[in-house]
Amino acid sequence: MKRNLHWRISPPTTGNLRTSPLFRQILGVWLLSFVTHWAMAQVTVTGTVTGSGETLVGVTVKEKGTMNAAMTDANGKYALKVKDGASVLVFSFIGFEPKEETVGNRKEISVSLAEGANSLEEIVVIGYGQAKKSDLTGSISTVNAETIQRANKTNPFQAMQGQVAGVNLQTTDNKPGGAFTVRIRGANTINSNQSTVEGGYVAGQNPLFVVDGIFVNDIQFLNPADIAQMDILKDASATAIYGSRGTNGVVIIKTKGGTKGKVSVSYDNYFGTKQAYNIPNMLQGEEFVEYFKQVLVGNQYATGNYNFTKDNIVLSNFMRPNEIANINSGTYTDWIKLSTVQGFQTNHTVGLSGGSENTTFGLGMAYTKDEGTFEGEGFERFNLRGNIVSKILPKLTLGYTNYISLATRNEGSREGLRNAYRLRPTGTPFDANGNRIFFPIEGETFITHPLFEIDNMLMETRTLSYLGNISLEYAPLPNLRISTNFSPNIEYGRYGEYRGRFNKSTNGVFQNTRATVNLNNRISYTWDNIINHDWKINDKNSLNSTFVYSQFFDRSEFYGLERRSFSTDQFLFYNLGAGPVIQNASSGLVKSTLESYTGRLNFNHGGKYLVTFTGRYDGSSILAPGNKWAFFPSAAFAWRIAEEGFMRNQNTFSDLKMRLSYGQTGNNGAGGGLVPLGSQALIGNGFTNIGDQVLQTAFVNNLANQNLTWERTREWNLGLDFGFVNNRITGTLDLYHRLNSDIIFFRPVPTASGFSGVFENVGEAFNRGVELGINSVNVNKGGFKWTTNLNFATNQNRVTQLYNNLEQILFNVQAGSFIHKVGHPLGSLYTFEFDGIWQLDEIEQAAKFGQRPGQIRVKDIDGNGVINANDRTIIGNTMPKWTGGITNTFEYKNFDFSVFVFTSQGAKAASWFHLSHGGVGGNRFNTLKWDYWTPENPSNTIPQPGNPGPFEEPFFYRDVSYTRVGFMTLGYNFKPAVLEKVKLKGARIYFTGQNPFTFTSFEGWDPETAARNSWGSAHLSRTWMGGVNIKF
């Protein structure tokens, strides 16, 4: 009778689903799984499981090789019927080493588990459900709370960086609260999706973030210490459950919840100081004066006057009087040193959890402060979380989760640091009374004193985020759960900007003071209705089925206002009415939705053969009618070879599993710039003046493309999970091949059309790569334990086809020139190729190209004796060739020390630092200390100052490979004997260096942020911090 019930709980029968033959096939497979035997157990074994001196609740006790299992109760006790004395019990629990016991003649088996992370027993979130890692068929990597705590970052993105093979994280903004780009297995969809304003182009988009079941765009609002686990879904069989949202990978984040038992409280903190490092080597003092003269010489060389020398220069004709005075007195200023400060960083997190048999709860609050290395930059965040899960009726569980975050980010000034790098060392910072001089170069009215920015520039973003979730789960049978989850996400954002009178852009003119306020509110919700059924067909076969009907709704409004000419700087942006000039008033509303039907079947045969089928039927509002719906299927198979009989007689492998998967996901163009109704021609509005009247204007804003359809990803993944030497060495190896077709891209079109480009399905590309992750316990004796966690990934990307007979698509983002070209990676860098410097003995050859000695020479690719647009070539790519990370942890008695190093190799970037502070074209601004060309120093790498020639562009493309120590942490755990005296469960004190060292040949601030506009850049920084973790 029970079995029949499965037939009644069929998936929601709507018109859309009925049309899908695939669902019938899935049901057929489900039918086939009726293969049955029900062997009766013969012996009952009972016992208690303990660990860390406490009884453990919820430990899985399993008869090896079967699906027969039990769990320990609130007292740590279990009872399990097993076949006979030859049966082996496997005890497993998160955070503890598993243990096996052969039953023999015993009726009672009590065990004590040793602490330690066992990856195979980890519970992994797989989207609308969870699974043990050993039962996974897809490629999923996990970052657990322990790793996050060890990394101890202020930002949840950073907590992931370098930790997971195939997940490439890049900072795009070094200021506190700055954004990141996250690329999982390379670039999929290719729209220039800049996660930071002016952040530079990295092909691809960030993954979908799912926090406690809610789709969010950003996770900056989370306190890393609140994260229980991050699961990164990489292959298409894993992400297919998220269908249209899964193309760029999925990061599922679970925040900490409650646990049964006595109330436990934890308190964690740290205090630290942040200092800038990797400071570019700019010209200082006399070096600049020498360079200044060489530019004047270079100007003459540029026009062919090779007789001119620096002795011909009367410096006072070119430099300001105060500069000449400073040079004469040897008074130079290091503007960078002058404007760089140490920042303060702290975090306090309090957590509380507990519960009774039927109700568990978790609460927490946190405060984080993070200051930048230029005064005024800062980030502050308050977090409050609370959740409660209660069995309100025997079969009905109600859950309620709240997560509130209030973050304040002050960007400080976007000009301050740039001013410090532009200003000549010959300027004067302070007058005789010690007051700052607004224009440090007499007469220079463009570059102002960087320190004026601190009290004259405010760019503050305040964000209030609320994540909620109400879930109701009905379990009519122990193995059937029907749940509905409603999860709203509310974001209120306010950006306030005030430019006071003495600020670079206002230039001391009060009419130019300006206050800007932008408000946005976004309300989205995810509503999931889930049916989950565990069906133990017999002792060998089981089937887990999940069906989901889901709606996602997203609505945003924004309002912007700018007023100018404030008579006082005191109002900041809090009294817009006091500004007489209305500069801007704008608002907007967009709403978009997604609707989906999802099904997943997990079939498990004897713990050896695991099969997963997933299908998601997705509808998206953003595409034109006729293109809205698409189906994304996937299938995966896993073979736990270690469970096979023939493996019993070998000692090499303690675990071995093979996985094979294929899946499809999609992308609808949203998130890459396509706006709601963007498939149609949208009309923009403005105003003009005719006859002194305010006349409204209208214009067609975009080229419509109603043929725009789903971008589709098809991915194969072959994986191997292995363990050697009794699982002291475990690892995962994945090979994948992913084909993207109908790639959506904002394809540039000739501006003669009146438009800059159009969203189109432009072509096909693949990503293929290898990912390797290894965990090993190198030494474990005499109280000394050394473990290593290593990951490595390499990804290759190629465009295989461009539609409409296109051979290539060229486009520009920020300072970079890019190309999509068949046979090359998406978004390859496309420019002239640097070929040295024209030398004095090459005057005639240079002249053939219209150039002169001292100038940059580029390759004449087509060899036709003329350098023109045809001589551009692909010189590299913004994605690294390979990445890797290694964490070594040493524990000795109560001490622990861990060090994490990661690396990114082979990426190039159009370096904005070089463009604005590393060129040698002129002497108005300071520049990098180069070994530049002079007639006496015939450099072949750096051109002559003042005479770089017409091909400076390739000079600005730099290799941005780097290796960074992510953190070094030394900790001490107080002994239990000490703790008992003060009634603590645990206490740890630690010292950490965050990002303490970076090794790179890149001359700019930071290889990671090389491509972002220098407007708003910040130094790379390290933080030295210390803190405590207390449990009671």
Among residue numbers 423 through 442, which ones bind another protein (CB under 8 A)?
Answer: 442
Report 937-966 residues binding another protein (CB under 8 A): 946-947, 949-950
Q: How far is CA 241 from the centre of its chain?
A: 21
CB 329 within 8 A of CB 320: no
In whole angstroms, give the CA distance from residue 995 to residue 993. Answer: 6
The Cβ of residue 649 has, within 10 Å, a number of other Cβ atoms equal to: 6
CB 389 within 8 A of CB 358: no
Does the protein bind another protein through residue 307 (CB under 8 A)?
no
Does the protein bind another protein through residue 1 (CB under 8 A)?
no
Rg value, the chain, Cα: 32
Segment interacting with another protein, rule: CB under 8 A, options 99-107, 619-627, 718-726, 779-787:
619-627
Instruction: Measure Cα distances from 583 to 151, 493, 565, 694 in Å.
Output: 46, 21, 10, 15
Q: Is 204 or 757 the residue whose CB approaches another protein more closely?
A: 757
Interface characters, 533-572, with another protein (x: CB under 8 A): ----------------x-x-x-x---------x-------
Report 73-102 residues binding another protein (CB under 8 A): none
Does the protein bind another protein through residue 683 (CB under 8 A)?
yes
By CB under 8 A, name the one of 652, 693, 823, 844 that touches another protein. Answer: 693
Does the protein bind another protein through residue 845 (CB under 8 A)?
no
Segment interacting with another protein, rule: CB under 8 A, options 39-47, 145-153, 671-679, 734-742:
671-679
Q: Is 41 or 313 the residue whose CB approaches another protein more closely?
A: 313
**What's the min distance (Å) between Cβ of 553 and another protein?**
8
Q: How far is CA 880 from the centre of its chain?
A: 15
Instruction: Measure Cα distances from 120 to 91, 730, 734, 775, 776 in Å.
Output: 12, 9, 16, 12, 14
In whole angstroms, give the CA distance from residue 405 to residue 368. Answer: 11
Segment interacting with another protein, rule: CB under 8 A, options 53-61, 485-493, 630-638, 745-753:
745-753
- Give the type of residue at 711: E
Does the protein bind another protein through residue 621 (CB under 8 A)?
yes
Report 34-53 residues binding another protein (CB under 8 A): none
Q: Is 621 or 888 the residue whose CB approaches another protein more closely?
A: 621
Q: Is 803 or 890 the residue whose CB approaches another protein more closely?
A: 803
Segment interacting with another protein, rule: CB under 8 A, options 172-180, 355-363, 588-596, 907-915:
588-596
Does the protein bind another protein through residue 821 (CB under 8 A)?
no
Does the protein bind another protein through residue 582 (CB under 8 A)?
yes
Q: Is 475 or 1028 the residue whose CB approaches another protein more closely?
A: 475
CB 843 within 8 A of CB 834: no
SS3 634: strand
Report 197-256 residues binding another protein (CB under 8 A): none
- Exposure string (b/e) for 505-544, b if CB count within 10 Å is 16 or more? ebeeeeebbbbbbbbbebbbbbebebbbbbbbbbbbbbbb
Question: Binding residues for another protein, how many (CB under 8 A)?
Answer: 112
Segment interacting with another protein, rule: CB under 8 A, options 416-424, 425-433, 621-629, 926-934:
621-629
Q: Is 620 or 994 the residue whose CB approaches another protein more closely?
A: 620
By CB under 8 A, name the one of 1, 40, 432, 869 that touches another protein. Answer: 869
Does the protein bind another protein through residue 522 (CB under 8 A)?
no
Q: Is 53 or 865 the residue whose CB approaches another protein more closely?
A: 865
**What's the min distance (Å) between Cβ of 486 and another protein?**
11
DSSP 1005: S
**What's the min distance (Å) between Cβ of 761 and another protein?**
11
What does the chain come to in residues? Answer: 1032
Instruction: Measure Cα distances from 952 to 608, 832, 833, 834 in Å.
Output: 61, 9, 10, 9
Segment interacting with another protein, rule: CB under 8 A, options 174-182, 676-684, 786-794, 894-902:
676-684
Does the protein bind another protein through residue 843 (CB under 8 A)?
no
Does the protein bind another protein through residue 681 (CB under 8 A)?
yes
Interface characters, 464-503, with another protein (x: CB under 8 A): ----------x-x-----x-x-------------------
The DSSP line for 959-996 is E--EEEEEEEEEEEEPPHHHHHHTT-SEEEEEEEEEEE
The Cβ of residue 271 has, within 10 Å, a number of other Cβ atoms equal to: 15
Instruction: Measure Cα distances from 708 to 628, 659, 977 in Å.
Output: 10, 35, 68
Segment interacting with another protein, rule: CB under 8 A, options 183-191, 534-542, 582-590, 1005-1013:
582-590
Q: Taking the chain, what is the end-to-end CA distance rounded to the nearest angstrom?
A: 50
- Give the type of residue at 301: Y
